[in-house]
Chains A and B, each alone.
Chain A
Amino acid sequence: MSIQTLWDAPKRATVRVTELVAGLNPLVVNRLQEMGLEPGQLLECFGRGPFNGPMVVQIQDCVYTLEQHIAQQILITPQP
């Protein structure tokens, strides 16, 4: 199965987090983990906002927006 970043995740798709790439500020990684962004977690992607804007994604019971440089550090595999 192909691995890609969350930034390039297809619109209206379920994806599984595989890894948080080292390179993000540890404080930000901690926050993402608290939000539920951990390997194995399933996410619903709603695609990028207007103007190629931040990625809109549902993690557990919340919808968040993640800007490009963060979404690009999160590796995912699309789920069938």
Chain B
Amino acid sequence: MKKIVLVGKPNSGKSLLFNQLTGLRQKVANYPGVTVELKTGRFEQFELVDYPGAYSLSSLSRDEEIAVQKLQEAMQLPDTALVICNLDATRLESSLVFGLQVQALAKQQQKSVVFALNMADELQRFGHQLDTEALSKALGSPVFAISAKTLLGISEFRQAVLELAELAQPPIPSIDHGDEKALRALSRSLSRQFGISASIVLKNQNRIDAFMLNSVTGGLAFLLVMFLLFQSIFTLAAPLMDGVESGIAGLAQWVTGYIGEGRTSDFLNDAIFGGIGSFLVFVPQIMMLTLIIGLLEDSGYLARAALICHRPLSYFGLSGRSFIPYLSGHACAIPAIMAARTIESPRKRLITMMTIPLMACSARLPVYALLIAVLIPEQSYLGGLVNLQGIAFFGLYLMGIVIALLVSFMLSTFVIKDDAKSDMPFILELPNYRFPHWKPLVVRVLASAKSFVYRSGPVIFAVTVLIWLLGYFPTDAGGLQNSYLGQVGHFIEPIFSPLGLDWRYGVAILMSFLAREVFVGALGTLFGIDGADENIAGLAANIQADGLAFGTGFGLLLFYVVALQCVATVATIRAETGSNRIAVGLVIGYGLLAYLLAFLAANLL
């Protein structure tokens, strides 16, 4: 099939144009380790390929480099019939340099170019008439003023693109671009001649920014937005997650109802359906967070939030854009690691992804709740205002953040080398504030769920089934304590005994690789409390009666703060970084650090 290539600058409505031309069905090709995505959709008899938004064809970072390289490859293909260059009609001055670079590249490869000057509805609103005919003449390629949002000029544009792409020999751009300097000068003179005045376009944006970037009002707005974001991934996603869980449980019940009780039924119910549920349960949160970040990005606020956080986080080798992934990590590391895709610098993105697992995710909550109930007396001061257990909770959250920042600092200073294109200077364009369009958002939300299910789902499923098998067999012996997992627990007891923990804790820790909260249920089984998840106080009393030394218990808490014991997180890190080495290295590294801290606590406290 013949291809049409779509390129353009970020924040210029390119994704929406792609959706308007191809509909909502698209295929996404990812390149592991970078955020480069090529989206492909059907546009009449052609295949429309959407290249990542770029500011320039001379790349600064590895992501940009790969994006540009892919574009160059596409330009060389004989199948490529036409190049559409999508630019922001309201910002010709900053867009045309890129437009001319694309045109020069196309000319070199004997390809035809069409310019889509998007967001022309805004020009109309400002009363500016863009002389597309004269600009076409000056550029030597057809120019269309369109709006993918209001569909202004879209049908003529479609028509013209199809006609051009069908030509056996589409016209090659005729103008001479000269060297880099000449190209910049040409861009400047053209934009002065045809563009709208910057002061008109930027008037509103600058007025809002005077408020949003002010230290006081901007800070308050930032806190409010982040509060809402955090609330929604916790509260809005919760019923959806419950829905997924009960849906799968219902399905499992329905299926096993035909089989009757027994080994097959247990296997289907707990291993197969449990395994499917173990990754599907993350999907609502991933979709919710993707939606919110998409809203923030498309409305223009994400860039401001990154600006506000940039300075404090830069001390730890992080980007301003690391803040949202870090915050989201307190709900769940999986969507948070996927949210790190918005970080502009590959190096900072990697550091962010590697440290997100230290955030106190919601799966740690039951573990913290249990151990705090065991170790810390329920005591209040100042008339109930300050609660000792509450302080302990807060301390554990804070500890996660502090350790994450320290690890980031160490990684950025000593481990991850700052080679030529791994870092990206923080040059951020502040886009105009705009009302987001639903189409690219829907596509993006669905794509995030799909990419998680396809790339991380199988690993999570496999490990869940494996741990279930180990915990279930040999059944004739009866119970978790006599299962293979129990035997493994006995076998590895020497590893946990320096921490003051016996085999029961070892088994519970192993089980919690499924998800940390499994620790509570597993320990409950071993301490003879059924349904420990709902009876934390009962289990806590049993553990206290059994005798858990303070140092040992505190060490166990530290272990849970640091250790990366969540197979879903590991699978997601592996998928997002494209590296087994990083995923396994993190499990070992955090495991050793967790062990060391627990050992020190058990023996010093």
Q: Is the CB of A62 within 8 A of B91?
A: yes
User: By the criterion CB–CB under 8 Å, are B427 and A49 in contact?
Assistant: no
Within 8 A of A (CB), among B183-211: 184, 188, 191, 195, 198, 201-202, 205-206, 209-210
Within 8 A of A (CB), among B202-224: 202, 205-206, 209-210, 213-215, 218-219
Given the complex of chains A and B, what is the CA–CA distance between A69 and B191 in angstroms? 30
A10 interface hit (Cβ, 8 Å)? no
Question: What chain A residues lie within 8 Å of B425 (beta carbons)?
Answer: 25, 28, 67, 69-70
Question: Cβ of B179 < 8 Å from any Cβ of A?
Answer: no
Q: Is B331's CB within 8 Å of the partner chain A?
A: no
Q: Smallest Cβ distance from B268 to chain A, in angstroms?
A: 55
Interface residues of B in 29-56 (CB under 8 A from A): 55-56
**How far does the alpha carbon of A16 sit from the alpha carbon of B429 in the complex, in Å?**
20
Query: Does B69 sit within 8 A of A, measured CB to CB?
Result: no
In the complex, the answer to whether A67 meets B310 with C-beta atoms within 8 Å is yes
Contact of A58 among B198, B213, B310 (CB under 8 A): B198
B312 and A51 contact, CB distance less than 8 A:
yes
Contact present for B94 and A65 (CB under 8 Å): no
| A35 close to chain B: CB less than 8 A | yes
Q: Are A54 and B311 in contact (CB under 8 A)?
A: yes
The reply to whether B209 and A61 contact each other, CB–CB distance below 8 Å, is: no
Knowing A33-B184, A34-B184, say if A63 contacts B205 (CB, 8 Å). Answer: yes
Complex CA distance for A3 and B391, rounded to whole angstroms: 53
Taking residues whose C-beta sits less than 8 angstroms from the other chain, chain B's interface range is 35 or more
Q: Are A66 and B427 in contact (CB under 8 A)?
A: yes
Interface string of B60-100 (1 = CB under 8 A from A): 10000000000000000000000000000011111001100
A76 to B290, CA, bound (A): 41
- Interface positions, chain B 243-282, Cβ under 8 Å from A, are none
**Does A79 sit within 8 A of B, measured CB to CB?**
no
Q: Is the CB of B206 within 8 A of A65?
A: no
Are A51 and B308 in touch, CB under 8 angstroms?
A: yes
Tell me if B426 is interfacial: C-beta within 8 Å of chain A. Answer: yes
Measured CB to CB, the closest approach of chain A to B296, in angstroms, equals: 17
- Find out whether the CB atom of B195 lies under 8 angstroms from the CB atom of A53: no
Complex contact B215–A31 (CB within 8 A): no
A65 interface neighbour in B98, B184, B201, B428, Cβ under 8 Å: B428
Does more than half of chain B's interface fall in helix, strand or loop, or is it mixed? helix
Name A35's closest neighbour in chain B (CB-CB): B94
From A51, A58, A70, contact of B427 by CB (8 A) = A70
Whether B213 and A46, one on each chain, are in contact in the complex, defined by CB atoms closer than 8 angstroms, is yes
- The residue that B311 contacts in the complex, of A36, A51, A61, with Cβ under 8 A, is A51
Q: Is A1 engaged at the interface, CB distance under 8 Å to the other chain?
A: no
Contact A54 to B426, CB < 8 A, known contacts A36-B93, A49-B311: yes
Complex CA distance for A26 and B308, rounded to whole angstroms: 27
Asked if A27 is an interface residue, CB under 8 A from chain B, the answer is yes
Cα distance A61–B213 when bound, in Å? Answer: 19
B97 touches A34 (CB 8 A): yes
Which residues of A lie under 8 Å from residue B201 when comparing CB positions? 61
- A51 CA / B219 CA spacing, docked (Å): 10
- Whether B94 lies near A61 (C-beta < 8 A) is yes
When the two chains form their complex, are residues B206 and A61 in contact, meaning their CB atoms are under 8 A apart? no
Which residues from B are CB-within-8-Å of A49?
Answer: 213, 307-308, 310-311
B380 within 8 A of A: no
Name the residue on A nearest B218 (C-beta): A50
* Measured CA separation A66–B427 after assembly (Å): 5
Cβ–Cβ contact B308 & A50, under 8 A: yes
Interface residue? A17 (CB, 8 A)? no
Q: Judge whether A58 and B206 touch: CB under 8 Å.
A: yes
Best-surrounded residue of A56, A59, A62 (most CB of chain B within 10 A): A62
Q: Could you jot down 6 A-B contacts, CB within 8 Å?
A: A35-B427, A49-B308, A59-B94, A61-B202, A64-B427, A70-B425
Given contacts A31-B56, A35-B55, A54-B307, 9 further A-B contacts (CB under 8 A): A31-B60, A34-B55, A34-B56, A50-B311, A52-B311, A56-B209, A56-B430, A61-B191, A65-B307
**Which 7 interchain pairs have the tightest Cβ spacing?**
A61-B198, A60-B93, A53-B311, A62-B94, A67-B426, A51-B311, A63-B430
